[in-house]
Amino acid sequence: MEHNEWVLQSGSVEEIQVRNTKTRHSVWIARRLVTGVSSIEEPVVIVGLVKDLEYKEGMVVPLVRRVIEMPRAVNDVPWRAPASPTPGRLAPVVGIRLAAEPDMRKGRSWLARIAAGVLTCVIGLIVYREGPLGPRARFFSAPPRVALPFTPDDDRDSLVGRLGRPSMEVVRRTSQPGLEFYLLRYPERGFTLVLLGGSREGARYAGALGRGGRVIHSVPLADGKDSAPTLASLRR
């Protein structure tokens, strides 16, 4: 893996998946092999490993140390212990061949690259900072809801009148003919407001999304159902 830069792709309670930014190659790493995260983020956040890892048959697994080969000496014959000890006689010497120094260095270098690759995936492990949510939310945890003061009666003008003009407005189609999503992005506040309707003027407030497209606020729709499932479709 010559290019050793990785980003978090997905994860679960038991394992995380990281992807190489150049080769697009993805690997899974067991969560039990990853320990704490450093509290200092500069210049990078360090993710600790429980033990050394190696990439083997498409998986990242704990490193298993090799057994040193101990062959017989050249031109030697199988040695047998004498029937009785002979005083003053030295025991035969058996040659021990150690692993070649270049191979050992290459192995260490490869392990260091794997460890560094795991550590660089902290780019994906940096927790989200949700503006109105206070500090940071942890990875893989359910996004907390926010009590925003908006209702299904609010339209674009009322939202802009309270928060000011958004940094960006995006229109996306829905699966229902004649309905569209109107997204008002406020990155400095940490959320995007979503309106639903057949036109920009007639669209009404349907909820809010946090960073990563997670639903942080929802309201009842015209049919009485909660808007959260409808907002979740924006992530697909």
Per-residue confidence (pLDDT) for residue 65, from 0 to 100: 72
The gap from C-alpha 40 to its chain's centroid, in whole angstroms, comes to 18
Q: Number of helices (H) and strands (E), helices first, in the chain?
A: 4, 12
Of residues 196 and 92, the one with the higher pLDDT is: 196
What integer is the mean pLDDT of 55-70? 72
- 83 three-class SS: coil
Per-residue confidence (pLDDT) for residue 89, from 0 to 100: 64
CA distance 209 to 81: 79
CA distance 35 to 51: 10
The gap from C-alpha 202 to its chain's centroid, in whole angstroms, comes to 40
pLDDT, the chain, mean: 77
Kindly tell me if the per-residue pLDDT of 160 is higher than 50: yes
Per-residue confidence (pLDDT) for residue 211, from 0 to 100: 84
CA distance 182 to 201: 10
Instruction: Please give the torsion angle defined by the CA atoms of residues 11, 12, 16 and 21, in that order, rounded to the nearest 10 degrees.
Output: -10
CA distance 231 to 215: 7
pLDDT band at 113 (very low <50, low <70, confident <90, very high): confident
Of 107-111, 127-131, 155-159, the range with the highest mean pLDDT is 155-159
Count CA within 13 A, CB hemisphere, residue 99: 11
Tokens 């270049």 belong to which residue? 102
